[in-house]
């Protein structure tokens, strides 16, 4: 059987250009994401990571090749949820109201919406802030609400575009653990864009390393670490260090003039 037939997300020889073909963003992209799989997209600036998310979400269409989600051309809907670098909450709604709005779009009744909202807020540690407004929350708390809202509709695919990049180190650490626990219990497929190679290894089952200008698949790496990573931190393991060094070397090899390296260098010693 064709491997793509077993995939939840399938990209085959995908190409995408902008500005009437003047800017080539992606070229010959081929990979799959299986049901329940956590896949990270990593690479220097200009490799098309966010463009790939937009293609998977159906916000744009490829110029060449084929994108399929659950066997059909992708289109925005409840089975596809997205979390951005900023939470993008509705400022006029409370924390609970932001989540209930997503549930209302699924046709849930008022009582069920309220019950599920409180359960989700409990899962992200914000049950006591249900009546607060977004401006009353820290950036990390807003991202928790954004994550809870995305999970509220129980999507089959969760797309995440550098959701923790703007947060401080301690908040990032907490949210990574919460994300891993939620993914482990719900097992939706996650496609996660990050510039942080340590973060990609820590969270993912597979990493798609992309080359820039135009974006192409350089390598797809299986991350063979323990499944309960929120309890047993794998960053002290030799396997983690080897994978980290391998990815760093690949990025170093492909970087041009050091410009792209700067965005990925923070996780590495000099």
pLDDT tens per residue, range 59-106: 999 999 999 999 999 987 778 988 888 888 999 999 999 999 888 877
Beta strand 206-211 with 216-222: parallel, antiparallel or unpaired?
A: antiparallel
Q: Is the pLDDT of residue 256 over 60?
A: no
Cα 203 to Cα 176: distance, rounded to the nearest angstrom: 7
Mean pLDDT of all residues in 112-129: 90
Beta strand 23-33 with 9-18: parallel, antiparallel or unpaired?
A: antiparallel
CA 214 from chain centre, in angstroms, equals 21
Cα–Cα–Cα angle for 249, 43, 50, rounded to 5 degrees: 175
pLDDT tens per residue, range 259-270: 444 455 444 443
Q: Provide the edge-to-edge strand list for the sheet that holds 9-18.
A: 23-33, 9-18, 64-69
pLDDT tens per residue, range 21-42: 788 999 999 999 999 999 999 9
Task: Give pTM, 2 decimals.
Answer: 0.87
Q: Give the gyration radius of the chain's Cα atoms.
A: 19
Could you write out the DSSP letters of every residue in 90-141? -TTS-HHHHHHHHHHHTT--HHHHHHHHHHHHHHTT-GGGTT--GGGS-HHH
Six-digit token string for 197: 């190679």
Residues comprising the chain, all counted: 270
Backbone phi and psi for residue 22, each to the nearest 5 degrees, phi listed first: -75, -35
């Amino acid at each position: 059987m064709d491997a793509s037939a077993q995939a939840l997300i399938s990209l085959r020889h995908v190409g995408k250009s902008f500005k009437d073909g003047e800017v080539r963003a992606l070229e010959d992209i081929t990979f799959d994401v299986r049901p329940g799989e956590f896949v990270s997209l990593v690479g220097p600036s200009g490799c098309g990571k966010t463009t790939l998310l937009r293609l998977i979400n159906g916000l744009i269409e490829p110029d060449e090749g084929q994108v399929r989600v659950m066997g059909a051309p992708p289109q925005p809907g409840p089975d596809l949820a997205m979390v951005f670098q900023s939470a993008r909450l509705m400022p006029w709604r409370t924390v609970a109201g932001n989540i209930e709005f997503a549930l209302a779009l699924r046709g849930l009744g008022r009582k069920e919406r309220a019950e599920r909202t409180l359960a989700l807020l409990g899962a992200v540690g914000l049950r006591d802030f249900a009546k607060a407004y977004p401006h009353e929350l820290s950036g990390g708390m807003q991202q928790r609400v954004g994550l809870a809202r995305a999970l509220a509709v129980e999507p089959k695919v969760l797309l995440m575009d550098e959701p923790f990049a703007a947060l401080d180190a301690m908040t990032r650490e907490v949210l990574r653990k919460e994300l891993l626990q939620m993914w482990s219990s719900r097992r939706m497929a996650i496609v996660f864009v990050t510039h942080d190679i340590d973060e990609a290894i820590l969270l993912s089952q597979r990493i798609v390393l992309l080359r820039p200008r135009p974006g192409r698949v350089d390598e797809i790496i299986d991350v063979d670490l323990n499944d309960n990573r929120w309890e047993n931190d794998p960053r002290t393991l030799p396997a983690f260090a080897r994978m980290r060094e391998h990815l760093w070397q690949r990025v170093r090899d492909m970087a041009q003039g050091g410009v792209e390296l700067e965005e990925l260098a923070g996780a590495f010693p000099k």
